[in-house]
């Protein structure tokens, strides 16, 4: 991994205190974003959180990628959980002055990683059967959720970069969508947790994406358009993650209990 812990000038606030808990590298990532009415997203968030908006719109993302070099601090990578495919459905929210990424789902092709992430980070991870194939400069990606007791979800997408690498500039939509350094999660008792993350500036490229099947948000009651409103590709990113800390007390069973 590239050590980015000394690359901090791009961050909107200082690096998290304490030691990071997990390191990982993300590969061949696509940010596929849709505009969604803010009230539709607000209705799906825990009561303590407020939807974050850009130009009056909330944004919902479907993000397929591959993970490698996943390891806990002080430990080597283990074959069952150090490399696997992942697919996120995310939006953007805040609690007071604290903003971050809120995940509706994180599908992964590693049962061990799913179990560990649900227990340690209180995130809604789900088991899935997934495949990534490279055809010249195009990536074919498929995911089908297999987690017992939850709604099915399926994505079949083909995507490729179409432009040079550009770092997101402050004030742009790309910067607002991607330069996020905190995840927000809901614990089983409804408490809101915040986990700090760190990475370098995103090396984004314009992209072409062709979606063949997308039912990733049907279980949320959101009907997405056939094609996204905004897409960007990133070849890789090195990421460090801190253990989440409680921001607000819960009042009942939360999303993580799914």
How many structural domains are present in the chain? 1
For 35-67, the pLDDT digits (tens) are 999 999 999 999 999 999 999 999 999 999 999
On the question of pLDDT at 201 being above 50, the answer is: yes
For 97-153, the pLDDT digits (tens) are 999 999 999 999 999 889 988 988 889 999 999 999 999 999 999 999 999 999 999
In a domain, 178, yes or no: yes
In a domain, 136, yes or no: yes
In a domain, 203, yes or no: yes
Please give the pLDDT value at position 256.
Answer: 44
The model carries a pTM of 0.92
In a domain, 253, yes or no: yes
On the question of pLDDT at 251 being above 60, the answer is: no
More confident residue, 59 or 75: 59
In a domain, 175, yes or no: yes
Quote the tokens at residue 133: 């194939």
Q: How confident is the model at residue 31 (pLDDT cuts 50, 70, 90)?
A: very high
Residue 231: which CATH number?
Answer: 2.40.400.10
CB-CB contact of 228 with 89 (8 Å): no
In a domain, 15, yes or no: no
Please give the pLDDT value at position 19.
Answer: 92
In a domain, 37, yes or no: yes
In a domain, 156, yes or no: yes
Domain that holds residue 144: 22-257
């Amino acid at each position: 991994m590239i050590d980015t812990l000394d690359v901090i000038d791009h961050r909107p606030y200082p690096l998290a205190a304490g030691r990071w808990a997990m390191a990982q590298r993300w590969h061949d990532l696509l940010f596929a974003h849709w505009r969604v009415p803010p009230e539709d997203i607000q209705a799906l968030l825990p009561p303590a959180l407020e939807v974050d908006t850009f130009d009056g719109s909330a944004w919902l993302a479907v993000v397929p990628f591959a993970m490698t070099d996943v390891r806990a601090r002080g430990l080597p990578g283990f074959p069952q959980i150090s490399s696997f495919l992942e697919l996120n459905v995310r939006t953007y929210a805040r609690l007071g002055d604290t903003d971050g990424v809120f995940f509706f789902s994180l599908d992964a092709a590693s049962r061990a990683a799913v179990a560990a992430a649900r227990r340690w980070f209180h995130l809604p991870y789900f088991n899935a059967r997934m495949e990534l194939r490279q055809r010249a400069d195009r990536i074919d990606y498929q995911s089908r959720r297999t987690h017992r007791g939850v709604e099915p979800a399926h994505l079949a997408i083909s995507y490729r970069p179409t432009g040079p690498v550009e770092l997101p500039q402050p004030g742009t939509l790309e910067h607002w969508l991607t330069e996020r350094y905190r995840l927000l999660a809901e614990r089983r008792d409804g408490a809101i947790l915040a986990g700090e993350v760190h990475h370098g500036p995103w090396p984004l490229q314009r992209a072409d994406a062709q979606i063949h099947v997308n039912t990733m948000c049907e279980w949320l009651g959101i009907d997405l358009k056939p094609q996204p409103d905004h897409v960007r590709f990133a070849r890789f990113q090195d990421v460090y993650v801190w253990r989440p800390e409680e921001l607000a007390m819960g009042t009942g069973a939360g999303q993580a209990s799914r």
